[in-house]
Structures are given as C-alpha cells and as structure tokens.
Structure 1
Amino acid sequence: MMTDTTTDDHAAIEAQRRKAAVQARRLKTLDSIFELRAFIALGVLIVIFSLMSGSFLTTDNMITMTKHVAINAVLALGMLLVILKGGIDLSVGSSVGLSGVIAGELLKGVHIGSFVAYPQVWAVVILCMAMGTLVGLVNGFLVTRMNVAPFIATLGMMYVARGAALLISDGTTFPNLAGDPRTHNTGFGWIGSGRPLGLPVAVWIMIVLAAVVAVVLRSTPYGRWLYATGGNERAAELTGVPVQRVKMTVYMISGACAALSGIIIASELTSAAPQAGESFELNAIAAVVIGGAALTGGRGNVRGTLVGAFVIGFLADGLVIVGVSTFWQTFIKGAVIIVAVILDQSQQRFKKRGVAASAAAVTVEPAGDEPVRVASKA
C-alpha cells in the first residue's frame, strides 16, 4: 500500500514538473519575442511602406532615410547612457539648436575689435561640442551636487539652452554656412553632404560612435560602473563605484552628442535656426525605449538603440512618403512610445513568471510531505 502511495506521489510530482517546464519554455519563447520586438517592428514597417509606395525601398531613398536616422541615432546614443544611469535628459533638443546657432555665429565671422576672425571648420566643430558638453556639465552638476531631480534639472536647461539660441541669433536663421574661399573656412557643408565610400558622413559618424559606445559599455570598467549605478545606485556606491562621477559624465557625453547632431543638421541645410531640434529629445527617448532599455536604468544596449532609431526614422519618413498628415505623424509617434513602454513592462512581468515557473519545474511539494527537489530537464 505504501509502495502504491509513493508511486502515485512521484507520478504527480513528475506531472507537475513537466507542466511547469512546459510553461517555463513558453514564457522563455515569449521573452525572446519581446527581446526582438524592435527588429520585428522595423521589419513590419519596411513591408507596409514598401507595399504602399514603390519608392520606399529604392537605394537613394534608403540612403536618405538612413542619413536622417543617423542624426537621431547620434542623439539617442548619448541618451542611452543617461537612461542606463536611471536619468533623463530633456535638454538635448535645445542643445541641437544652440549648437547650430553657435556654428552659424562663428562661421559668419567673430569680430575682435576692428578685425574679423573666421575660425576653421574643425575649430567650429570643437567649440560647438564644447558648448554641448558644458550644457551637460551643468545638468550633471544640478543632478549630482544640487540633488535636483533629473527631469526638473534638464527641463530647466532645455529652456535655458533654447533661450540662449534665440538670444544669440535674435530669433533669425543663419543662412549660407558653406563658408567663403576668401576666408579659408569652407568645408562645413561637407559634413552634411559628403559621401565617402558612397555613404553620407552622418552615417559614418553614427557607425563610429555606436562602435565606441558599444566597446565602452561591454569592455571597460566605466561600462560596468554605469550598469551597476543604474541597477542599484546604493549597492554600486558601497562596492566602490564612483557614482557621482558616472552621473556627471553621462550628461556631459549626452550634451556632446546633441551638439554633434546639431552640427550635422546645420551642415546638411547649410543654415542654422534657433528652433532646430524641437522635440528631438522625444525621438531620442523613444529610440532608446523601443530598443529595450528600461527607463528605471540598468538595462539597455547599443544594438537595440540603433534599431529603435531606425524604427522612429523609417516611421517618420514612411508616413511622409505615403502622404500622412503631420498631425497624424505626431499622434502615431506618441502612440508608438506608449506601446513600447507597455511592451517593456509586459516583458518584465513575463520574465518574473518565467523565473517562478522554472523554480516550480525544479521544486514541487507532494501533499503532506516536505518539498521534494527534482532535477529539471528543461
């Protein structure tokens, strides 16, 4: 009798283990699908817009769209670092506009007494990026030293940087930034129009920057510090991570990336308007979130961010190509951000359920006895 009861118990245990293992595999499959959501979304967009417009998949159009994507991707890579830390940077769009305005102010000539100095293009680029880094430094100071919430600190700097752009330009656009051969400051337009090896300069900048950020995140102590700070700031601090320094530098890098995006835009248009970059911070945040990063910090990668930037870029350009109203474009972009956040939260819930199911596949409790641990085959 005892043997029959024991056999029944073990059969019940095995049935429970198999059921839990099947559930764990299903949840793991769903998690894998969630991980690929950005790639799936990009593929769906390409198929839909290709069916709606014969010009969408042409070589020239793909290169043009990738060039547009590159501008947002450069911005998003800087935003990725801030979000990995668990922060947010709302000032990047204004830094884009301020960078272009400063480039325009420098290229038209700097009056020094009775002389007019015309900086070389490389000097203009360095000065603009220094400005972006300075904006990031102020953001970092407010967050780390003054303990201002990142949302409030960067929101304030968003208005400060936009106001500075309007003051410098008097609210007007700087035209004809191609330079003048007589002043030896030509070449600025090449950044936006040059195509070395058949690809726009902006795309090469995106590729190089993405490679650098990926290496930093994967293979350097700074990358490990960043993930640790975003995952659990207090624990990271207790293990010796220079948390305050990490916070400061991510905002500085984000500001520099924003300035670089502003330079690319001004060069492409050979003009600079103080309104440039409006709402670009939302595009950058959307790209990072669609790419799988957690707004709470500690999770995200370069690959996902790049794919997210392509999703946002192809969506925007595709809607223009098929003739969708700009009002609907804004609506759809907002909906995409909301869906991306919902999917991310759903993925985290599935992961928790998957962990629980995996544990159930290993440990089961027959009625009236102590827990029995069974080796899982899943």
Structure 2
Amino acid sequence: MPITLFFALLAVAVLRAPSLMSASGIGAAIIVVTPLILATYTLMASTISGRGTVDLSVGPLIGFINVTLIQLHGAGLLENPIAVFLYCMAVGALYQLIFSLIVIYVRVQPIIVSLSGYLALSGINLVILPRPGGMAPAFMAEWGYGTSIFSPILIILLLATAAWLLFTATAFYTHLRLMGSDERAAYTSGVPITIVRIGAHMISGCFAGLAAICFTALISSGDPSQGTTYTLIAVTALVLGGASLGGGRGGVFGSALGAINLYLITYVLSTFNFGTVQSFVTNLAYGAILVISLLLTLLIPVIQRRIRNFSPLLYFVALSVVVLGIILHAIFDYGALGAAGAIVPGPLDMQAALTGPLEIATVSPETEALRIAAAPLVLSVLLLIVIAVFVRLAVGQSNRRTLAPAVAVVVAALVLAGAYVMAEGVRGPETEAVE
C-alpha cells in the first residue's frame, strides 16, 4: 500500500507541477519532509515495544528542544555544531528515559503519560518562548534553503536511516520485537524487558533530537506551537507505513514512505485552489487516505494466498519505471525538439525512397542535448532492473535475514544515483549547444 500510494501521488504531483523534479524542487521537498520522517522514526522505536505505546508528545517534544535550543543559542551557550547535536539528542533521550521509568515503575498506562507530556510540554514551550522568534545557529543558515539535493539535512536523514538499519541487525532489536509481540513470552524466554523498554525509549529520544535539529533548520528560528502539528501527521505516517500500534511490527522503509506520502498529499492539494478551506481539505485527505489504506490492508492475506511469490522489490521497480516515464514526459518539452521540414510534392525518386529510411539523419542540437541527458537515466533504469532481479534471485536462494543489509545498501545507492542523474538530466537541456 505505501508503495502504490507513493507512486500514484508522485505521478499526479509531477503532472500538476513538473518543477518538483528540479534540483530546487527535490531539495525543498527533502528539507520539508525530513523532520516528519525523523518524527516517524521517533514513534517507531517506542511503538514496537508494545503496550500501545504511541507517544503523543513527540510534537511538543520537538518544539521543546527547538525553543530551548534557540534560547540557549541566544544566550551564547550553544555555538558549536557538535554541542548542538549532543544537546538535542541528550534532551530527547532524557525525556524518554523519564517517560519509560514512569511507565515501568509507577505503572501508569503509556497513553496517559504521553497525553500528559503533550499538555505539559505545550504549556512549557509557551513559557520559554511566548511567540515565534529568535535565530538559529549560524551553521544552520544555509541548511533550510533547499536549493540543492545534496545538503546536510539529507546527510542527517541518511545517517539516521542507516543507524536504524544497523540497529535491526542486533539482538536487542530481536528482543524488542519479541517483547512488543508478546511481553509474557519474552519475559519467560529470559528477555530483560525493563532494559529493553528503557533502551527503546532512549533511542526514540535520540531520533526526536535529530528531528528537532532539522525542524530548527527548516524554520531558522524558534516556534513554540508549530512542532505540535507533527504529532498527528507522524502517527498517521507510522500507520500508513504498515507499523502496528499494538507493537512488534514496524519498518524504516514503510515509515519513510508513509511520511513522504503525507508530504505528497499536501503538495498535490496545494496545486489546487480550495480557498479558505485549504487546511480542512488537507486534513480530510489525511483521514480518508488513512482509512482507505487500513481497509485495503485487509486484502493483503488474500493477495498472499493468491500470489505466493509476490516480490515488493520487483513491484517497486516496475512502478518506478512507469513513473519515470511520466517524469520524463512532464520535464522535457518534446514540442521544442525542432519541427520536421515541409514535404514538397515532386517526382518520385525510387532509390531515395528505398534507402532513405535506412540512412541516419542529421539531428538538431536540441535533440542531441536531449539524448545526452536521457542516456544516464536509461542506463540507470536498466541497471536498477538487473540488480533488482539479481537481488530477488539471491534472496530466494539464501537467508533473507543475512541479505537484508545488503539489499538496503543497494537500494539506497540506487536511489542516490537516481537523484544525482535526475538533477544532471534536468540541467542538461539548459546548456547551449556549440555549433
């Protein structure tokens, strides 16, 4: 479902606004969607731990780290990038540590603790910074421009995703999933559930700190109320990505796709003019797509019974090829390739009629520039298909658990290569041909 929704929304977004596939369009999308993706990662670790632990305070927590960072920077205490990163991640981990201790030892339901934290942090943020203002650290000044694809925000997102993938290869993650699926069975199996739960919450706190850093770079100031909006959309993205709110299930790719889908929903709706009800239409779309997706997930067991060897990776590749064709059609202006010369009636030259179609005509500079720009894209698509088929065969013959990190690395490398080639391809037709 996240894959299907992603490509459907991406196709509509590109047709409605082709500028999305430019370097500045992709860069702006990265800077906007990264805080939401990291907020979804924040929820994922604690949600997998079970007991219905959906941290509703994730939005105000991001806002709290943001306003305290701005105030401390204004006081001249946080200037070094390393100090900023350590402070944000430490504050997030400390809050989640207190959260987990209350749940474990005071035995209060996690939903009550998270709701209390939401209300408390919302009020504390307004006390610390009554109105939006302040300045972000100087080294963040260029992070929020979003004029290029490769930026420090993208590096933070990739490192956070890689850290989560490495985390999934540890025994701690196995214990976490077992505890989330059946806490009693995990306890009887010797899993230290107290340590595992505390560790899961502290990991969530570290991701919350990274989300706050990216959020601060996005707005370049402090805002005590804007961060609260991430609570609803992060929970929606988590569910849309296939995670179970009951615990035991959740993945980094599904969560990231869920967050990107919500961004694309907002982007597509922004291309329409709904007037004063624009925000209400956006919330309606969030709710409707979430409900429809949850209903369609009921068909997954039926599909798995009908199609036993269904590969999500090959499904992703197939849809990516189709959408890539739509992107090429929307980006390049095929009408400007040069009109064919007019046909002047005259005597029929049989020799020219037979040999003409077999000869190579001289192409225009615009057509040659388009061929040069499209060649890397075609090669990338062919390479993507070959590697996907190879990985599918390898996974079918080997242990999926041991090959999962390799598959993740290959897919990430291909995505980065595709983004780079896309950016170069967009700039290619703009260069002037030398006569």
Please give the TM-score of this superposition, normalised by the length of structure 1.
0.74
Distance 2:110 2:170 in 1: 25
TM-score (norm 2): 0.65
Shift of 1:78: 1.9
Tell me what 1:108 maps to: 74
Shift of 1:274: 0.6
Specify the alignment match of 1:244 in structure 2: 194
CA distance in 2, matches of 1:291, 1:313: 13
Deviation of the 1:289 alpha carbon = 1.5
Specify the alignment match of 1:309 in structure 2. Answer: 259
Q: 2:126: which partner in 1?
A: 166
| 1:2-151 mapped onto 2 (5 Å cutoff) | 37-86=1-50, 87-109=53-75, 117=77, 119-151=79-111
| Aligned partners of 2:13 and 2:267 also within 8 Å | no
Partner of 1:288, secondary structure, is helix
Distance in 2 separating the partners of 1:140 and 1:118 = 28
Instruction: Name the structure 2 match of 1:370.
Output: none
Q: Which residue of 2 aligns with 1:336?
A: 289
Identify which of structures 1 and 2 has the higher relative contact order when contacts are C-alpha pairs closer than 8 Å and 6+ apart.
Answer: 1
Q: In structure 2, what is the Cα distance between the partners aligned to 1:158 and 1:226? A: 25
Q: Which amino acid aligns with 1:202?
A: I
| Residue 104 to residue 322, structure 1, CA distance change in 2 (3 Å) | same
Indicate how the Cα distance of structure 1 residues 118 and 277 shifts in structure 2: closer, same or farther if over 3 A, else same: closer
Change (3 A) 1:190 1:244: farther
Q: Which segment drifts farther, 64-73 or 339-348? A: 339-348
CA distance in 2, matches of 1:51, 1:190: 30
Q: How many residues align?
A: 303
Of 274, 278, 303 in structure 1, the residue corresponding to residue 228 of structure 2 is 278
Secondary structure in 1 matching 2:18: coil
CA offset at residue 104 of structure 1?
Answer: 0.8
Alpha carbons 1:101, 1:174 under 8 Å: kept = no
Unmatched tracts of structure 2, length 5 or more: 309-435
Higher mean Cα deviation, 98-107 or 314-323? 314-323
- The answer to which of 205-214 and 134-143 deviates more is 134-143
Amino acid at match of 2:287: G
Once residues 185 and 299 of structure 2 are traced to their aligned partners in structure 1, the CA distance between those partners, rounded to angstroms, is 26
Identity %: 25
Please state how far the C-alpha of 1:284 moved relative to its aligned partner: 1.6
Q: CA offset at residue 310 of structure 1?
A: 1.2
Distance in 2 separating the partners of 1:191 and 1:309? 20
Aligned-partner residue type, residue 68 of structure 2: I
State how far apart, in whole Å, the 1-side matches of 2:3 and 2:140 are.
35
Question: CA RMSD for the aligned pairs?
Answer: 2.4
1:221 to 1:207, Cα distance in 2 relative to 1, 3 A: same
* Secondary structure of the corresponding residue to residue 206 of structure 2: helix
* Residue 319 of structure 2 is aligned to residue 319 of structure 1: no
In structure 1, list runs of 5 or more residues that go unmatched: 1-36, 111-116, 179-185, 356-378
Query: What letter matches 2:270 in structure 1?
Result: V
